[in-house]
Amino acid sequence: MSKKNFLFTSESVSEGHPDKVSDRISDAVVDAFLAADPQSRVAVETLCTTNLVVLAGEVRGPASVTKDLLIDAARHAIKDIGYEQDGFHWKNAEVQYHVHAQSADIAVGVDAAGDKDEGAGDQGIMFGYAVNETETLMPAPIYYSHEILKSMAEARHSGAAAQFLPDAKSQVTLEYRDGKPVRAASVVVSTQHIEAATQAEIRELVRPHVKNVLPEGWFPDEAHFYVNPTGRFVIGGPDGDTGLTGRKIIVDTYGGAAPHGGGAFSGKDPTKVDRSAAYAARYLAKNVVASGLASRCVIQLSYAIGVSKPLSVYVDTFGTAQVDEDKLSDVLQQLVDLSPRGIRTHLGLNKPIYARTAAYGHFGRAPEADGGFSWERTDLVDALKRAF
């Protein structure tokens, strides 16, 4: 029997965290290729350190996407985040380029040919999750962790909080009673700041961003409200710590509240099921919960490289289902073609919509008019209700 009363913690990191800078640059590369050719193949990793960015990976796309264009895309991403510091500056950082053509062996296994449908770009397992703890059907700890940092970033970009610098982290611990979150037991926020700001000043600047995000009455007592616990955070970002693409997969997904298959998202085009199938699994799980068929749902999909259909589709509602889980799995597979091509077609994933996913989570975001965050739609609800 699952526990009903407990504390659970999730963390988020800002767009200026070194790993998120790397994710943003890698996804800017993906967008550049997809904007030029929706059928491009991209697998690009980024390393960031003191005034150095290294791009490496494999691509297949049009010649119009040049080395210079991608280096410019990297610089634009850094500038948009807000890095103009001595140790990491969008204009002055060296950008090294080590990107080459995709392996022909992979292309043979993945590409459609004759009667063979397009196969998965790799083997692996992917999970999707939804729970009715928040309006976005995301776990509450990761949702509030993201929202705190988004609020702070908006204040930094607008100039309302010029003392904040781009690198930041948040951590929210919620108390659950009878399986539902009821208050914040503690909140930790660490934010990079200008040299002249004191810890006390930063604490009071952070306070409203936490209070305005948490539900009324949830703010922790002062002893459990931690802001820059070390006292000083001036040197940050890639100048303070090396960043790598794909190192914040729990931040990107459900904050540890659900299983994770282990694959990262950023830097990968949507033929890679690490990305597209994880989006599809979230899409299905969210629609199950949004339809009222369960209050909590996890879905696992598994694939083999070069094989089009998933090897397994597993659905678990943790005993909250109002319907038969085996039938639910069958119905979901009837509603959505879970082959790599089917997922991309259904969700419209062959578009330059990925740089925006690189910070504050890939899930729990609002669907956008140009197809961004299409996996957050709840357009299967009516069909699911009819099926049962």
Q: Is 122 annotated as a binding residue?
A: no
Q: Is 45 annotated as a binding residue?
A: yes
Q: Is 168 annotated as a binding residue?
A: yes
Q: Is 150 annotated as a binding residue?
A: no
Q: Is 326 annotated as a binding residue?
A: no
Q: Which residue has the tokens 């703010």?
A: 219
Q: Is 167 annotated as a binding residue?
A: yes
Q: Is 4 annotated as a binding residue?
A: no
Q: Is 268 annotated as a binding residue?
A: yes
> Whole-angstrom Cα distance, residue 37 to residue 42?
11
Candidates 338, 238, 359; CA nearest to 279 is: 338
Q: Is 296 annotated as a binding residue?
A: no
Q: Is 241 annotated as a binding residue?
A: yes
Q: Is 102 annotated as a binding residue?
A: yes
Q: Is 385 annotated as a binding residue?
A: no
Q: Is 11 annotated as a binding residue?
A: no
3-state secondary structure 95-143: EEEEEEECCHHHHHHHCCECCECCCECCCEEEEEEEECCCCCCCCHHHH
Residues in binding site for L-methionine: 58, 102, 241, 272
Residues in binding site for Mg(2+): 19
Residues in binding site: 17, 19, 45, 58, 102, 167-169, 232-233, 241, 247-248, 264, 268, 272
Residues in binding site for ATP: 17, 167-169, 232-233, 241, 247-248, 264, 268
Residues in binding site for K(+): 45
